[in-house]
Structure 1
């Protein structure tokens, strides 16, 4: 059983992540390569990437389990891939040993490479750095624009649910089996995990790759991070354009404009982001506004656009139908 114990201060400090984490998504994408999932699109993604996985990336199998177990030092919060790899390399020996001991107690066998990592052997940690870079380049980089768009849609959707349904339903709605017992959030887990948030709050971090039970990441002095599967994982967004129901309904460019506007953009910014003309964005925004999917506001010479609740509902529904 997983139990997250909240204080009043913790409940007042529940927030959503501001952006996807490249290192976290790299680890979770690697874990998903061997994880059983009945959806055909995920199976095809797994077969394709397992067959082409660079040999040196395979070392991560000794650290990362398809159950979601892995050392927390592999995903330091708030870092891009290169800064993050440097942060991984600087993990103190005592933290490395503690985390490796923890994951081996869960389901990782003790290997000679893990012993070398625990001893902070430079060559072993350089192998780890190269494996992380290789996994990121192979699994995450090609899908990053799609991942960012899916992340923005997910956060916008959850934020709206928070406003209309409240914190209780928002948190229990993140994944099946989450439930409240007093001020404790519980989930079925293969082992007992008790976490006291300690007044630092909770950050909700959707993963665009992970499809399993919620995961928890704890970093000293930081809020606890609750990682949960987004509405639609990236591999299921890899299908041909004709399977994109939103594009079929609105047209590909107009659908792209709507998805982009889960965040606020000016006409010029949206045009630059999508690689189209400002006139094109203005035309599509006007049509979306007339349909009640986008709202616009003039700010000096610029016009700001963003999704309405109806637009967010349409995006989320189209994603859940893929």
Structure 2
């Protein structure tokens, strides 16, 4: 059964467009880490999972609790403007823990705090730092893709602007995504929880994202504007192998696989993580790690069933020399 949020309109709305890397990062966190799958390719999902530490994985779990879509304002602000991800992550780390408690109370004012948010409420400082870490680590992986997608985003800004000028607002709203329908009374948005709002005199801010084909994030209750984030048209053309560095002097020196491997382990990773991330057979990863260890560029440590690989100081100096890592 499909659940809908309804945004009622009595007149043609005023449109604007905003570019927010922050919301792209939030969409990828929800899909790849929290478990609310929205069409992100498995290769990217696995790459993001492998690059986020345990505190980040633990912090994002409440974002995809079954039957809930409401989150505190400090995660998804009321306006998408100012979406620089490092700035957002730094702000979360500096946020007073009491602010998270206040946001949770406001978000769930109609009843008791849901069970999936209780751990965050009990340890707000730890939760904020964990979520900020997840945000930063996801963005470190996604930023090169975001830069390559600028032509798609610029084209979408032009499409929205043209529709606003030429009076094509209604067809545009109906074409944003298959989870958004435009009808006589306004917009219907496929959601986890049902809600109903009147647009009134507020404007609609459209926010194209780099995200899976089913990703839609909305804020319908702000007093000045509502915003709707949706996958930018053509995003499917961007889902190539994640974080594949170009062939450069370091690759020429030691070979592209070993250069890539050395760059991946800015934080320790398991051999299985590396095999998935680099799309290389586990036996090949073992072979290349043997050679890198012989060159005193990596360390290996067995923890239970997994072997963890990390960089040595010698490797850090080598990467610094080649401006890599």
Q: TM-score, normalising length from structure 1?
A: 0.58
Q: Match of 2:64, SS?
A: coil
CA distance in 2, matches of 1:192, 1:215: 14
1:113 aligns with 119
Aligned residue runs from structure 1 range 91-102, under 5 A: 91=99, 93-99=101-107
Question: Cα gap change, 1:74/1:156 in structure 2, threshold over 3 Å: closer, same or farther?
Answer: same
What's the counterpart of residue 49 of structure 1?
Answer: 48
- Counterpart position of 2:169: 167
Deviation at 1:58, TM superposition (A): 0.7
Count of paired positions: 228
**DSSP-derived class of the 1:110 partner:** helix
Partner residue of 1:125? 128
1:182 aligns with 2:184: yes
For residue 211 of structure 1, give the secondary structure of its aligned residue in structure 2. coil
Aligned to 1:30: 29
3-state DSSP of counterpart to 1:83: helix
Show structure 2 runs of 5+ residues with no match: 243-325
Are 2:145 and 1:143 aligned? yes
Q: Which has the higher helix share?
A: 1
Alpha-carbon offset, residue 24 of structure 1: 1.3
CA 1:164–1:78: 2 relative to 1, 3 Å: closer
Q: 1:46 to 1:35 in 2, by over 3 A?
A: same
Distance 1:99 1:147, change over 3 A: farther
Q: How does 1:222-233 map to 2 (within 5 A)?
A: 222-233=224-235
Corresponding residue for 2:75? 74
2:211 is aligned to: 209
1:151 Cα deviation after fit: 1.5
CA RMSD of the aligned region, Å?
3.5
Query: Using the alignment, how far apart are the partners of 1:82 and 1:103 within structure 2?
Result: 34
What is the CA–CA distance in structure 2 between the aligned matches of 1:220 and 1:161, rounded to whole Å?
Answer: 24
Aligned partners of 1:131 and 1:53: how far apart in 2? 6
Aligned pairs for 1:155-304 (under 5 A) are 155-161=157-163, 166-176=168-178, 178-212=180-214, 214-218=216-220, 220-233=222-235, 236-238=238-240
Preserved CA contact (<8 Å) 2:72 2:103: no
The TM-score normalised by the length of structure 2 is: 0.58
Detail structure 1 runs of 4+ shifted over 6 Å in the superposition. Answer: 100-105
Indicate if the aligned counterparts of 1:116 and 1:124 stay in contact, CA closer than 8 A.
no
What residue number does 1:83 align with? 87
CA deviation string 1:59-111 (max 9, x = no partner): 23323228893444213332222432355425464223333678998xx7525
